[in-house]
């Protein structure tokens, strides 16, 4: 087809309008399904961003996000997936999108996959206890430090005893019960897991312990304003769960925050 001079501007304008409409549709799709962006960012680990512990895997001249930006990205990615697992009441959400390849910035001993499992199983267990629900789907995962393997009979018994102890004596009875019946499965009940208060946090993982203590305080009070800035979406979703409110928008906001962090983070050229 031959274009006249007069038709060319109109065609260009139509093409631009079409591209603009397509971009708007794409943006709307991301807003409607913000999980697309976290999944892509998780998949990009090792290509466009890496935690400092994995810098040995980079190639010379590879363009990556500057290392001091990766903590925020990793933590917000964890917040998003933990939030989704809370909303769906399903810790298995943590096993999606290759989170097992990404080290947690809170504790170098765990991947984001295992840390997400530990977080969601711990807080879902507490929420279920507070609601008088069964905890046999979440408690064994918590006892195994985020390992979703088939629970042993001893762990099931410890979980059943903990539920009974909670009904009789409340929150303070959980750790003594776990330590008595599964002492080798709860490595630090007074530290990272189930701290009594921020003041009980000591040692290497004290920072994570303080986050956990703040979330537990918000749950017990059922007040979103007590949620810490870390894992904020996860904490608010838990409070919504206990208050029988819709929690899904909390996860969407975490996804949107993640997108802003990822897109705005400065890049650098890796030189070994």
For the chain of 272 residues, list the mean pLDDT of each consecutive stretch of 10: 38 36 38 68 94 88 93 94 92 87 82 89 89 87 69 83 91 85 68 64 74 89 93 94 80 93 93 82
Residues contacting 203, CB < 8 A, separation 6+: 191
Cα–Cα–Cα angle for 115, 135, 199, rounded to 5 degrees = 55
Query: Which H or E element spans position 128?
Result: helix 112-130
Q: How far apart are CA 40 and CA 42, in angstroms?
A: 5
Residue 84 pairs in a beta bridge with none
pLDDT score, position 196: 66
CA distances from 12 to 20, 25, 49 (A): 12, 20, 37
Which phi and psi (to 5°) does residue 215 adopt?
-65, -45
Closest alpha carbon to 140 in 87, 190, 178: 178
For the whole model, what pTM was predicted? 0.80
Tell me the CA distances in angstroms from 158 to 45, 146, 183, 216, one per residue in order.
38, 16, 10, 21
Inter-residue contact 158 to 178 (CB < 8 Å): yes
Q: What is the pLDDT of residue 236?
A: 94
Work out the burial of residue 254: count CB atoms within 10 Å of its CB; fewer than 13 is exposed, 13-18 middle, 19 or more buried: buried
DSSP 153-187: HHHHHHHHHHHHHHHHH-GGGHHHHHHHH-TTT-S
User: Could you tell me whether strands 267-269 and 63-65 are parallel, antiparallel, or unpaired per DSSP bridges?
Assistant: antiparallel
Q: Which pLDDT belongs to residue 153?
A: 80
Report the SS3 class of residue 45: strand
Q: Residue 219 and residue 27: Cα distance in Å, rounded?
A: 35
CA distances from 219 to 107, 134, 214, 246 (A): 23, 18, 9, 16
């Amino acid at each position: 087809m031959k274009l006249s001079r007069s038709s060319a501007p109109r065609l260009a304008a139509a093409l631009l309008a079409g591209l603009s409409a397509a971009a708007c549709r794409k943006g709307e799709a991301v807003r409607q399904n913000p999980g697309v962006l976290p999944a892509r960012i998780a998949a990009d680990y090792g290509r466009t961003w890496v935690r400092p512990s994995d810098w040995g895997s980079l190639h010379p001249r590879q363009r990556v996000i500057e290392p001091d930006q990766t903590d925020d990205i990793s933590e917000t990615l964890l917040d998003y997936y933990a939030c989704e697992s809370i909303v769906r009441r399903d810790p298995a959400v943590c096993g999606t999108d290759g989170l097992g390849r990404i080290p947690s910035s809170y504790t170098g001993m765990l991947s984001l996959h295992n840390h997400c499992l530990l977080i969601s199983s711990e807080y879902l267990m507490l929420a279920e206890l507070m609601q008088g629900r069964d905890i046999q789907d979440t408690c064994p995962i918590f006892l195994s430090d985020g390992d979703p393997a088939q629970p042993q009979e001893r762990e099931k018994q410890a979980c059943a005893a903990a539920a009974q102890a909670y009904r009789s004596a409340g929150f303070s009875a959980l750790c003594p019960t776990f330590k008595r019946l599964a002492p080798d499965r709860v490595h630090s009940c007074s530290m990272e897991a189930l701290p009594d208060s921020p003041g009980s946090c000591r040692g290497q993982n004290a920072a994570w312990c303080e986050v956990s203590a703040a979330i537990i305080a918000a749950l017990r009070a059922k007040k979103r304003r007590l949620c810490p800035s870390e894992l904020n979406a996860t904490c608010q979703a838990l409070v919504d769960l206990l208050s029988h409110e819709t929690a899904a928008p909390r996860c969407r906001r975490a996804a949107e925050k993640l997108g802003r962090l990822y897109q705005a983070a400065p890049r650098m050229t890796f030189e070994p």
